[in-house]
Structures are given as C-alpha cells and as structure tokens.
Homo-oligomer: A and B are copies of this chain.
Amino acid sequence: MSTAINTVILGASGYTGAELLRLLQNHPRFKITALTGDSQAGKPIEAVYPHLCNRNLPALVKHTEVDFSDVQLVFCCLPHGTTQEIIAGLPEHVRIVDLSADFRLHDLAQYEEWYGHPHRAPALQKTAVYGLTEHAREQIKTARIVANPGCYPTCSLLPLLPLIEGKIIDPDHINIAAMSGVSGAGRSVKQELLFTELDGGVSAYGIGKHRHVAEMEQELTAATHRTYPPRGLFKRAPSHSTILMDFTPHLVPMTRGMLATITAHTGDQFPNEPTKREEAHACLTARYAQEPFVTVLPLGQSPSTHQVRGTNQCFISVHEARTGDKLILVSVIDNLVKGASGQALQNANLMFGLPETTNLELTAVFP
C-alpha cells in the first residue's frame, strides 16, 4: 500500500458530498482529512447524515479552518457561484475536482450569460479541463482543476460525441428529452421538492433554458471541427458559431437515475449516407469497447436507469427512428455517480496515477 493522498471534501453536507463519502470508503489511497460545511460546522457528519455514523469521519468544519498545506486533493461540492473564489484561494499544490458548474464553460461571456454575473476567477477558468473522462482522459491526468461535467451533459454527450466525430449525425439538429431523479436538485429545502409535491407525477421544467445546455453546446461544438454555417438544412444565421440544441428536462418521482432520449438527424448531406442504426451502433461499440464505464447495448435492447443505480456506468442503446432520416439514442446513468461523484472519483483516480476504476467497480443496486 502506497502513501496516503490527503483529501478534503468542500461542501460535504450536500448529496454529492455524501455520495463521494460512500464511494471513497476503503479507498486504497485517498484519505479524507477534512470535511467542510460552513452552515453545519462543528457537527459530526452523522448529525447531517445518520447513515455515515460508522465511518470514523472527521467532523464538519468551516473551509477557512482547513490547513491545506498537507492536502493533495480537493473535491469541491459547493453550490454554483460560490466555488470560484474558494478555489482561487487554494494553494497552488492542491489539485481539484470541482463538481459545481463554475469551471465548465471556457467562454467567459457564455458563463456570464448563463450564470448572471462575471466569472470571478477568469485566469483559473482557462486552466480547467472539462472532465468527461472518456473524452478528455489525457488532459485530466495532468490537470490541476478538473471541471466535473453536469449530469445531463454526461448522459447526453457520451452517446453523441462519437457519432458527431464520426459524421454520422448532424450536430445542428439534436433534440433531447431527458428525465432526472430528484436528487439532481440537491438537498435544497424547497416546497417544489417535497415528497407530496413530486410523488405520483411527472413534469417538465427549465424548457429550453436549463444551464446544462451551455455545457453540451460547448462540447458538441468542439466536436465538430467544421466551417459554419452548415450546408443549410434549416436556415441559421451565419453568426451561429456554436451548435444550438433543444433540450427539455423532466422531473421523475424517483431519487436517483437519469435517462436521455435523443433524436439525432442523419441528413443526406453527410457523406456516409444512407446512415443506418447499424453504423451508429458499430461506431459507438467500437469507440467504447475498452471503456470500463460505458456499455453499448446490443441492437434491439434499451436500458433502464435501474440497471445503473448506484454505479458509475452509462448504458447506451441505438434505435431507428420511424421517420427515416433520424436515429433515436437512449442513454442512462445514475445522476449521483457517473453524473457527479462517481465521475469525480474516476477523474481523481486518473489525476493521481491510480487505476481509473479504483473503488468504482460496482454492481447496480437492483432491485
């Protein structure tokens, strides 16, 4: 057993913090030396999460109380907006996996547009790597700050990126209907998150305006490498230098789990026409053949979020659309694992030269 890597979780009192603590149990290298939670500082973690009572974890402290001089790794689970300044204040030797949205958008103007205020650590922002592990592995290994992707972007980009890179689908006409479990909203105490308001029903929210759209468009655009405007499928103003997409999230009465149903066009302007689901399936299967956490299902099957509950897996299926020029892709993850804390650990493992799967070889909790 090698030496311990001292690890701090900032914002450990939220759900992603609790999930990190689950996944870090008995980690061979990452040793938790401090947990912060400013509003709960002074309490033992089991006062906030009784299920953690058997873990001999440090009590919650304010982040200003932590001595970072001997800390190598920080998982930052703070809310969006509060993270930038805190990370900016960490010593240079500390490496960071940030689960908030603060360092995900490379373009500062985009950040300001979506989050409503200028970025407070613009220099640091430039150094951050967008940590969709399977698509940024080499950069992650050496990054100081990894911006851990949002849950919807993780679930959507994993099936989309290889098909865009392979020119199998048209990046300009992507339409996603996604469904999330309620834990995606965090532990916020709001009327609309009460059991009684959610059990037994479903709703759409943030239609066309969910902030995760910005991340997805950024990554889809980066995947295209092509000259705009595209060859005129629908008219778009030439000023559209980025991909735009339609995205409608839904809140489903379940605690964990996320499913994205993606409609992607395979227009005839693409050289490899006629595109078939077989081709898309082969592309995805080949791309992810060696990936431990992405599973492309055999044609004819489609996944359920139950199948990845509690795991770092993404299951993907490919289907013909009834209208001939499109594909339907279905992708599922556990929003708290591959969509948050699991991918964060996957990234941290990479950053410290450990096997990427360390503490992440998990079988779904089913039923």
A residues sitting closer than 8 Å to B (CB atoms) are: 15, 18, 21-22, 25-26, 49-55, 173, 175, 177, 179, 182-183, 187, 189-191, 193-205, 207-209, 213, 234-236, 244-248, 250, 252-257, 259, 261, 263, 267-268, 295, 297, 301-310, 313, 319-326, 328, 330, 332, 336, 361-367
Contact = CB atoms under 8 A, between A and B. Distances in A.
A67 B198 CA distance: 36
A51 B364 contact: yes
B18 A366 contact: yes
A119 B93 CA distance: 63
A364 B23 CA distance: 10
Nearest to A52: B363
Contacts of A191: 187, 189
Contacts of A25: 361-363
9 contacts: A49-B366, A50-B297, A51-B363, A175-B175, A183-B196, A201-B254, A202-B252, A244-B322, A247-B322
A288 to B, nearest CB: 12
A340 to B, nearest CB: 12
A189 B207 CA distance: 25
Nearest to A310: B365
Report whether over half of chain A's contact residues are helix, strand or loop; otherwise say mixed. Answer: loop
Contacts of A18: 366-367
Given A202-B179, A208-B319, A304-B202, A196 B363 contact: no
Given A22-B363, A195-B194, A322-B208, A307 B51 contact: yes
B194 A252 contact: no
Contact of A303 (B50, B183, B194, B257): B50
A246 B361 CA distance: 37
Nearest to A185: B196
A139 to B, nearest CB: 26
Contacts of A182: 194-196, 199
Contacts of A203: 259, 302-306, 332
